[in-house]
Chain A
Amino acid sequence: KAGVTQTPRYLIKTRGQQVTLSCSPISGHRSVSWYQQTPGQGLQFLFEYFSETQRNKGNFPGRFSGRQFSNSRSEMNVSTLELGDSALYLCASSPMTGPGELFFGEGSRLTVL
C-alpha cells in the first residue's frame, strides 16, 4: 500500500498570506490527523477528522482549519500567516483499530517570511 502522501513538501509564504496543505491517507484509513512540529514546541496536535467531521481539535487559534473529503483525503488551511507558523506540518492516518496507531507522512515544510 502506498504511504501517507503530503503535498506540497516545501513552501515559502509571506506574513499575512494563507496556505493550504493536502494529505492523502493510506487506502482504507478513514481517520486523518494533523500535527505541527517545531524545534521549540515539538509535536503538537492540531485536529483529527473522520467521516468528513472534525472529531478533535488541539489548542490552536481559529486561523488553523481543516476539512476532510468523502475519499478521506484531507486539507488544512492556515490563514493570515505569522512568522511563528513556520513549521513542519505532519499528517497521519489511522486504520482506527485502536487509539494511537498512526502512520505519518513526510510532512510539508512551511516557511513564513
Chain B
Amino acid sequence: AQRVTQPEKLLSVFKGAPVELKCNYSYSGSPELFWYVQYSRQRLQLLLRHISRESIKGFTADLNKGETSFHLKKPFAQEEDSAMYYCALGFAGGTSYGKLTFGQGTILTVHP
C-alpha cells in the first residue's frame, strides 16, 4: 500500500533562513511526487512536481528513490512562505489523474 509521511507537523524558521520540509513515501511502483500548498484563506494549490524538475517561488524538491524521499527546500525563507504544505504521491502509467495519497501536512511559519 502507498503511504506518505511528513514527520514534522509544525516547522518554524526565521526570515532568510534555509528551510527543508521532509517527505518520505512508500510505494512499490513508479512514483509521481508532488508538493501542494495552502496559504491562509486560499485554496489548496499545486506548488511543484518532481517530473518537471523546476523551481517555483524559490522552492525545489528532488526525488531520491534510494531514500524514498522528496524533501522540499528553499535557501532563504520569506514571510509569505508561511502556509500548510502537503506532500502527495500519484501513480505513473495508470489511468488516474486525480488519485493522490497525501501526507498529513506541515505548517510552516516564517518569523520576521
Contacts and interface: CB of A to CB of B under 8 A. Distances in A.
Nearest to A58: B99
Interface residues of B toward A: which range? 20 to 34
B104 A42 contact: yes
Chain A contact residues: helix, strand, loop or mixed? strand
Interface in B87-107: 88, 90-92, 94-105
A90 interface: yes
Given A99-B90, A100-B90, A48 B98 contact: yes
Contact of B101 (A31, A45, A101, A105): A45
B97 A50 contact: yes
A94 to B, nearest CB: 4
B6 to A, nearest CB: 10
Interface of A: 3-4, 31-33, 42-45, 48, 50, 55-56, 58, 90, 92, 94, 96, 98-106
Given A100-B46, A101-B46, 10 more contacts: A33-B97, A42-B102, A43-B100, A45-B99, A100-B32, A100-B97, A100-B100, A104-B44, A104-B45, A106-B43
